[in-house]
Amino acid sequence: MGIESTDDNGIQEQHNNDKAVEKKMQTQVTPSSLATVAGNREVRVPGSEMLGIGLETRGVHAWFGKKHVLADVSLDFAAGTVTALIGPSGCGKSTFLRTLNRMHEFIPTAALAGQVLLDGRDIYAPGTDVTKIRLNVGMVFQKPNPFPSMTIGQNVLSGLKLAQLKRSNTDDLMQSCLERAGLWSEVKDRLNEHGGALSGGQQQRLCIARSLAVEPQVLLMDEPCSALDPGSTFRIEQTISDLAKTMTIIIVTHNMQQAARVSDYTAFFLSDGGPGVMVEVAPTSKIFSAPIDKRTEDYVTGRFG
């Protein structure tokens, strides 16, 4: 009798457990608000650890020919933090990103005013070694662009070769870059295959590994997940969180959930007919819960853009 009763209790308990699991799963699949997602992140406090090198912009303007596309952007990117740049298409996010490592001037007709300070020094000061700046401030683009006919291993080390940098143990460096980019376990047995043989998500992580090989202190990412499936996106977001322990990261994204998941700070850009301006910057949880500017609120709540 006692045994039967225990079984009954056991069944009841199991049933209750199942219900609890079911309830938990329901809770988990219920979409969280952006503010909740952002609020769940551990807040990183600038200045509390050695986190890398910060970047500041002071009154940055950009033009293409006579067209003024970016006006008076002053933003601080504290060392070791992740900042998301958000805003509607055409407001100047990519242009701004390119001003941060002197890629903007590659574009014919492009002009610039203002200052970009890397670790306190203006990267546009006369006599600056531009190659060094681009090594210190790496960039990952929207579309993964590995060298398709180079092997996976050669791709990782290609930046060293281009910059004519010498490293003693390139095998170790290759492995550590692939590990930090979250790709090592997937490619360690196929390092001699071509970069083009990888999936889109793997190619993007290969590009991240390639940018890490030259040891940048800041990493710029322009919509790095926009062409990727949710699984690859998740892997890259994990990679971003890991990298942010030692680097400063600035990521452009159209995905509000992604901004909420990965960034410490969010800056909202907008072009209202004229050049793009930076409307508001704040800790990400604040941008999604209590933005100051009505235009930010309208954008993050999906009323436009």
Ligand X SMILES: Nc1ncnc2c1ncn2[C@@H]1O[C@H](COP(=O)(O)OP(=O)(O)OP(=O)(O)O)[C@@H](O)[C@H]1O
End-to-end CA gap in the chain: 68
Instruction: Evaluate the CA torsion angle 259, 262, 266, 270 in order and state its sign.
Output: negative
- Residue 91 interacts with ligand X (CB under 6 A)? yes
- Residue 95 interacts with ligand X (CB under 6 A)? yes
Give the gyration radius of the chain's Cα atoms. 23
> Among Mg ion, ligand X, none, what binds residue 224 when CB lies within 5 to 8 Å by partner kind?
none
> Among ligand X, Mg ion, none, what binds residue 177 when CB lies within 5 to 8 Å by partner kind?
none
CA distances from 26 to 35, 43, 217, 258 (A): 20, 27, 41, 22
- Residue 270 interacts with ligand X (CB under 6 A)? no
Q: Which residue is nearest to Mg ion (CB)?
A: 94
Measured from the CB atom, the residue of 94 and 266 that comes closer to Mg ion is 94
- C-alpha closest to that of 141 among 96, 176, 178, 94: 94
Measured from the CB atom, the residue of 120 and 273 that comes closer to ligand X is 273
> Among ligand X, Mg ion, none, what binds residue 216 when CB lies within 5 to 8 Å by partner kind?
none
Strand partners, 277: 270
The count of other CB atoms within 10 Å of the CB of residue 125 is: 10
> Among Mg ion, ligand X, none, what binds residue 26 when CB lies within 5 to 8 Å by partner kind?
none
- Residue 90 interacts with ligand X (CB under 6 A)? yes
- Residue 281 interacts with ligand X (CB under 6 A)? no
- C-alpha closest to that of 163 among 239, 91, 232, 214: 214
- Interface residue with ligand X among 92, 114, 216, 224 (CB under 6 A) is 92
Stretch that binds ligand X, among 43-51, 83-91, 114-122, 235-243 (CB under 6 A): 83-91
Residues that bind ligand X (CB under 6 A): 64, 69, 87, 89-95, 107
